Structure 1
Amino acid sequence: MFNYTAPNDLLKERIILVTGAGDGIGRATALAYAKTGATVILLGRTEAKLDAVYDEIEAAGGAQPAIIPMDLDSATEPDYIELSNTLFDTFGRLDGVVHNAGVLGARTSIENYDPITWEKVMRINLTAPFIMTQTLLPLLRRSEDASIIFTSSGVGRKGRAYWGAYAVSKFATEGLMQTLADEIENEPNLRVNAINPGGTRTPMRAYAYPAEDPFKLPTPEEIQPAYLFLMGPDSKQVNGQSIDAQGDMSASQL
């Protein structure tokens, strides 16, 4: 597992947006960030799930979070511009974004893949993070130390049969991250990286591997060291990297 121990105040006074924050890895990341001092903006499709995470953060004594319901499948450019304007009016800046939201799509061959499902997977997994990042960059540049984290996958580094649009979207996510990282490499206050969570005990994993024993997998909480490291100041010099949350690596090796 990625080896990093976060100070209790790692993200104190930082404002961080987490997509797909209602459950799974997004929920665990939002809670971990709030626990280390951040004001977390919870973005997701299901408001009831976001409300539950909101209540967990408040019950634990964290800074009051914010909730932004948004369906990335139907969102258009004006929705992202409105999001940026709302965050500017409310907070004035943004210190981090975690692009966690995603869908699996169909597990079938390229030959048989439904084009409508293909477009949906690409829209949620790739186009939405692209447009959101583009519209939020001015807010991130107002931060003294901003971090963008994309979500990668093992099947986004080496193609695997029957992973279809999901695998292709993750290959493209790696490319988007690397391209943006190269473009901003001379901006000392902004960095862009990606995390491959690996097999984790989430609903998506259960759907992809219905016969697998989920209790043999780490929980979303157990892979948080990578998310904390890449969002906090200890990773300020790390840019354009794709790290494995379950990899045998320490922060000092990056």
Structure 2
Amino acid sequence: MFAYHAPPGLLQGRRILVTGASRGIGAAAALAYAAHGAQLVLLGRDRESLAHTAQALAAAGHAPAQLVALDLEHAEAADYTALAAELGGHLDGLLHNASLLGPRAAVEHTPASEFARVMQVNVNATFALTRALLPLLRKAPGDASVVFTSSSVGRKGRAHWGAYAVSKFATEGLMQTLADELAGTPLRANSINPGGTRTAMRAAAYPDEDPQRVPAPAQIMPVYLYLMGPDSAAVNGQALNAQ
């Protein structure tokens, strides 16, 4: 695992938005950030699912989270503008965690509609949300961080990972481009490859795998904490691995 021990107050007073916060890595990140002092904005497709994460935060004694229901597959430009206005104030961190797996199929057997759907959520929505929230991130009183979720197949292509792999290559490109634009400012951008993790997406990709052979989301949080806290203020444009 990524070697980092986060101090208890690492994120004290920081306001962090997490996408795909209803379950899996997104929910685990929200809990980890809150446990280290952050105020959470949880974004997901529907408020009912987000409520489970919010309840977990409350049960652990953390500050109440702000819930934002936004379907990234169908959101339009006006929705992102409205979201930024609704949030107001500033953000200290943005974790892009929401992703679609799409079909595990050869390129020639991947329906164009499914390819477009994966790209819409994993790339287009990520771009649109980042663009809308950059003004709030720039208002952070100190350093601020944008973290993109990548994958090993977004760093080296692999057969039958078509749409998902292409979307993660695009994610890395977006991160690198943004990071270069942010160089010399208090705002930074980096990516994380979570590696094999015990999530619903992993189970869909590897249905015959024993889930106990891969770590639970809570076990890979050190790198997520590191990139959101001040200890990584000088780290920009880097592709890190959680495992």
* Unaligned segments of structure 1, at least 5 residues: 247-254
Residue 6 (structure 1) aligns with: 6
Residue 164 (structure 1) aligns with: 162
Q: CA deviation at 1:48?
A: 1.9
Residue 251 (structure 1) aligns with: none
Residue 213 (structure 2) aligns with: 216
Question: Following the alignment from structure 2 to structure 1, what is the Cα–Cα distance between the partners of residues 143 and 60?
Answer: 26
Matched ranges for 1:175-254 at <5 A: 175-187=173-185, 189-246=186-243
RMSD value over aligned CA atoms?
Answer: 0.6
Matched ranges for 1:16-35 at <5 A: 16-35=16-35
Q: CA deviation at 1:46?
A: 2.9
The residue identity in structure 1 corresponding to 2:236 is N
Question: Following the alignment from structure 1 to structure 2, what is the Cα–Cα distance between the partners of residues 142 and 102?
Answer: 27
Residue 39 (structure 1) aligns with: 39
Query: In structure 1, the residue corresponding to 2:16 is in which secondary structure?
Result: strand
Residue 79 (structure 2) aligns with: 79
TM-score by length of 2: 0.99
The residue identity in structure 2 corresponding to 1:82 is A
Question: Following the alignment from structure 1 to structure 2, what is the Cα–Cα distance between the partners of residues 219 and 235?
Answer: 24
Are 1:113 and 2:132 an aligned pair? no
* Unaligned segments of structure 2, at least 5 residues: none
TM-score by length of 1: 0.94
Question: Following the alignment from structure 2 to structure 1, what is the Cα–Cα distance between the partners of residues 233 and 33?
Answer: 17
The residue identity in structure 1 corresponding to 2:101 is L
Identity of aligned residues (%): 57
Structure 1 runs (4+) deviating above 3 angstroms are none
Q: CA deviation at 1:52?
A: 1.1
Residue 149 (structure 1) aligns with: 147
Question: Following the alignment from structure 2 to structure 1, what is the Cα–Cα distance between the partners of residues 39 and 76?
Answer: 26
What does the per-residue CA deviation read over 1:114-157, in whole Å, with 9 as the maximum and x for residues that have no partner?
00011100000001110100111110000021100000000001
Question: Following the alignment from structure 2 to structure 1, what is the Cα–Cα distance between the partners of residues 216 and 104?
Answer: 23
Deviates more, 1:190-199 or 1:50-59: 50-59
The residue identity in structure 2 corresponding to 1:230 is L
Are 1:128 and 2:125 an aligned pair? yes
What does the per-residue CA deviation read over 1:15-52, in whole Å, with 9 as the maximum and x for residues that have no partner?
00000000000000000001111000000013222111
Question: Following the alignment from structure 2 to structure 1, what is the Cα–Cα distance between the partners of residues 92 and 21?
Answer: 17
Aligned length: 242
Q: CA deviation at 1:64?
A: 1.5
Question: Following the alignment from structure 1 to structure 2, what is the Cα–Cα distance between the partners of residues 73 and 178?
Answer: 24
Q: CA deviation at 1:238?
A: 0.2
Query: In structure 1, the residue corresponding to 2:50 is in which secondary structure?
Result: helix
What does the per-residue CA deviation read over 1:176-212, in whole Å, with 9 as the maximum and x for residues that have no partner?
000110011021x100000000000000000000010
What does the per-residue CA deviation read over 1:84-123, in whole Å, with 9 as the maximum and x for residues that have no partner?
00111xxx10100000000100011111110001110000
Question: Following the alignment from structure 1 to structure 2, what is the Cα–Cα distance between the partners of residues 202 and 228?
Answer: 19
Question: Following the alignment from structure 2 to structure 1, what is the Cα–Cα distance between the partners of residues 111 and 105?
Answer: 9
Residue 101 (structure 2) aligns with: 104
Question: Following the alignment from structure 2 to structure 1, what is the Cα–Cα distance between the partners of residues 42 and 166?
Answer: 27
Question: Following the alignment from structure 1 to structure 2, what is the Cα–Cα distance between the partners of residues 72 and 57?
Answer: 24
